[in-house]
Amino acid sequence: MLIIGVNMKNILLILPLLCLTACTSHWVAQDNHAPNLKSSKKLCEILAEEKFPVKNEVAMRTEQKDVYIPCPKKEDCDGKSYTYEKMPQLQSYVLDVNASDRYSSFRQCMADKGWKQKYRMLKTDDFF
């Protein structure tokens, strides 16, 4: 049986993984006097951005990559003319070093305005 181009076997394999990791969040007013959610979020985003602006830096990490190595003798490589070995390779990437502080500042601002972020696990009904 196909559901939107995906066979049922694949869904049955993926669904348990989604159930283990799928969650969502929403904001809940802590009292009746909390200002409008949309305006609170916008103001808190602006304040957090001013306090902790985007600050991108280049970071480095080492990854193990498979590297193709020719074999001088096929018998040394199970009859193949090549083999693969894991080799460390340095990789650079851009990292916003203020992202965590900016998000913490945003959440604190929202809390100060009377909003609390709640998390919930998604149910299978949410997917279909």
Domain span holding position 104: 1-55+97-127
Same domain, 17 and 65: no
Q: Is 37 exposed, middle or buried (0-12, 13-18, 19+ CB in 10 A)?
A: middle
Same domain, 1 and 51: yes
Same domain, 70 and 10: no
Same domain, 118 and 70: no
Same domain, 1 and 42: yes
Q: What is the pLDDT of residue 41?
A: 98
Same domain, 38 and 49: yes
pTM over 0.75: no
Angle between helices 37-51 and 99-112 (to 10 degrees): 140
Beta-bridge mates of residue 25: 119
CA gap 90, 106 in Å, rounded? 34
- What's the pLDDT tens digit per position in 12-68? 666 666 555 667 889 999 988 889 999 999 999 999 999 999 999 999 999 999 998
Share of the chain above pLDDT 70, in %: 77
Q: How many C-beta neighbours within 10 Å does residue 27 have?
A: 16
Beta-bridge mates of residue 118: 26
Q: Report how many domains make up the chain.
A: 2
User: Helix (H, G, I), strand (E, B), or coil: what is residue 32?
Assistant: coil
